[in-house]
Amino acid sequence: MCIFCDISSGKIVPADIVFENEHVIAFRDINPVAPSHVLVIPKKHIRSMHEIGGDEISLLGEMILAVQKVAEKEGILKSGYRIVTNVGADAGQTVDHLHWHVIGGRKLGWEF
Ligand code: AMP
Ligand code: ZN
C-alpha cells in the first residue's frame, strides 16, 4: 500500500477527485505544473508502467478512457494536453504507484 492506494481506497487523504470508476481514479496533483494537472492511476497497486503484466493490459485501456474524460472535464480537449509517466529514479518517479500526469491549460515546453 502507498499514498495513492490510500487515495484510491477512500482513506482520509484529501484528494480532489476529477473522475473515478471501478478500475481507475483521477485526482488533481497537489503540486500542479500547469493550470490543469491531473493524475490518472489504476486502483490496483502497480509500481510503474514497467511492472504492467500481460493480464493487466486492459487496465491501460481503462486509463486511456479516463484521460479522455479528464481532458473533456478540464476543458483542454481542443487546446491540447500531454500525458507523462515517469519510470524510476532518473525519470523522477517519486511515488511508486503507476500514474499518468495529464497536463494542460498552457503552452508546454519540452526541456530535459
Ligand atoms: P512522479 O514524480 O512522476 O512520481 O509524480 C508524483 C506526483 O504526485 C507529483 O507531481 C506530486 O506532486 C504528486 N503527489 C504526491 N502526493 C500527492 C497527493 N497526496 N495528492 C496529489 N498529488 C500528489
Ligand atoms: Zn499504491
Question: Domains in the chain, please, with CATH?
Answer: 1-74 (3.30.428.10)
Statement: the pTM of the whole predicted model exceeds 0.75: yes
- Mean pLDDT of the chain, nearest integer: 96
* pLDDT classification of 36: cutoffs 50, 70, 90: very high
**Which protein residue has the closest C-alpha to ligand 1 atom 16?**
30
Q: How far apart are CA 30 and CA 28, in angstroms?
A: 6
> According to the model, what pLDDT value does residue 14 have?
86
> According to the model, what pLDDT value does residue 112 have?
83
Regarding the beta carbon of 92 and ligand 1, being less than 6 Å apart is answered yes
Catalytic residue among 37, 97, 99, 101: 99
Least reliable range by pLDDT among 13-17, 48-52, 56-60: 13-17
**Ligand 1 atom showing the smallest separation from residue 29 Cα:** 22
Q: How far is the CA of 30 from the centre of ligand 1 (A)?
A: 6
Helix (H) or strand (E) holding 64: helix 57-74
- Residue 99: Cβ-neighbour burial (10 angstroms; 0-12, 13-18, 19+): buried
